[in-house]
Amino acid sequence: MDFTQLRYFHEVAQLGTIRKASDKLRVAPSALSRQIQQLEHQVGMPLFERHTRGMRLTDAGEIYALHAKLVMLDAERARSELAALRGLERGGVRLVVVEGLVSNYLMDAIGRFRRDHPDIQFELLVSGTADVVGAVRKGEADIGIAFNAKPDPQVEFLFQLDDEVRAICRIDHPLTRMERVTLKDVFSHPVAMPVTSFGIRALVDETCRVQRLRAAPALVTNSIDALRSFAKAGHGVALITALSCQADAAAGALASVRLADPVLAASIDILVLGGRRLPLAVEAFLRTLRGLADERR
């Protein structure tokens, strides 16, 4: 196997055009195209469909792309292990997570980990559940943390934290005086909820379908902070996860109202790419995440 060819193929597959890949790799487009053609000749079948707007993977290309991605990620792990042999504490951890976990569980884990490993760098991106799973599948993230993620054949679910959808509101809101609160009760007040790419919204929409409820939200947003602010300002009720509002509820800034609808119980899922040997720093941080999750059970 020619590692250079594999790297070139990987970048073209990721970026979709020879031009973008050549700019990133700083290789002439003609040289890059020639390497791709040689690789296709060696494989014995086309790996790309050529279009005026770029390159699209064939079925064979999709299979080879997964192989290439795993090889590239293994090379990253090899660099990490070689650094460890030199006695260095280097490395990085790339995280893509749902927003609601950033301020408590995740930051607690990062803080605890960096006390022992101060030279490890973290890259953190926030996204909806569907995009978290996609980032892990594409190798764009070492670890994904998603809310109630759907199974994916290329993604491995390592462990989970129990969670559920809660209604948050001011502590003097009428919902706080009710013994049993359902989603139907929530919808009798102005409500804010996440966009459809969020796992929270998927559960709420499924409950609406089963119970034939009609949601008419006053606010739809991809910001957990905006949902909290909506409730704190007294504009109505917001739907977020229990972990997302844990700090506000403990401080008395908001009431976290448990909902009686059973389908709103869910999980926080810790994800990695299936079949990948993880870099040492990533493996070590996963142990910290798991330990903190066990403490909170």
Q: How many domains does the chain have?
A: 3
Same domain for 291 and 243, yes or no, is no
Same domain for 145 and 276, yes or no, is yes
Helix (H) or strand (E) holding 239, with range, is: strand 237-241
Residue 149 reports pLDDT greater than 90 = no
Region label for 45, one of left (φ > 0), alpha (ψ between -120 and 50) or beta (otherwise): beta
Residue 175 reports pLDDT greater than 90 = yes
Task: Please report the pLDDT score of residue 88 as a whole number.
Answer: 44
Select from 138, 137, 152, 161 the least CA-distant residue to 270.
Answer: 161
- Alpha-helical regions (H) of 105-162: 107-116, 129-137
Q: Which two tokens stand for residue 155?
A: 């993604």
For residues 51-60, average pLDDT: 88
For residues 44-64, average pLDDT: 88
Q: Which of 37, 67, 82 is the last residue of a domain?
A: 82
Query: Within a 10 A sphere around the Cβ of 294, how many other Cβ atoms?
Result: 10
Task: Please report the pLDDT score of residue 83 as a whole number.
Answer: 66
Residue 116 reports pLDDT greater than 90 = no
pLDDT tens for each residue of 208-249: 999 999 999 999 998 989 999 999 999 999 999 888 888 889
Same domain for 170 and 259, yes or no, is yes
Task: Please report the pLDDT score of residue 170 as a whole number.
Answer: 96
Q: How far apart are CA 196 and CA 247, in angstroms?
A: 25
Q: What is the CATH number of the domain that holds 240?
A: 3.40.190.290
Task: Please report the pLDDT score of residue 180 as a whole number.
Answer: 93
Domain of 56 in residue numbering reads as 3-82
Task: Please report the pLDDT score of residue 1 as a whole number.
Answer: 53
Task: Please report the pLDDT score of residue 163 as a whole number.
Answer: 86
For residues 49-67, average pLDDT: 87
Residue 130 reports pLDDT greater than 80 = yes
Same domain for 153 and 279, yes or no, is yes
Task: Please report the pLDDT score of residue 246 as a whole number.
Answer: 84
Task: Please report the pLDDT score of residue 85 as a whole number.
Answer: 47
Q: Which of 47, 82, 117 is the last residue of a domain?
A: 82
* Highest-scoring range by mean pLDDT, 20-29, 51-60, 81-90, 189-198: 189-198
Q: How confident is the model at residue 93 (pLDDT cuts 50, 70, 90)?
A: very high
Same domain for 173 and 138, yes or no, is no
Q: What is the 3-state secondary structure (H, E, C) of 237-264?
A: EEEEECHHHHHHHHCCCCEEEECCCHHH
Select from 69, 75, 78 the least CA-distant residue to 12.
Answer: 69
Q: Which of 24, 48, 82 is the last residue of a domain?
A: 82
Flag the least confident range among 85-94, 137-146, 223-232, 273-282.
85-94
Same domain for 97 and 216, yes or no, is no
Q: What is the CATH number of the domain that holds 273?
A: 3.40.190.10
State phi, psi for 285 to the nearest 5 degrees: -70, -35
Same domain for 176 and 212, yes or no, is yes
Q: How far apart are CA 69 and CA 190, in angstroms?
A: 46
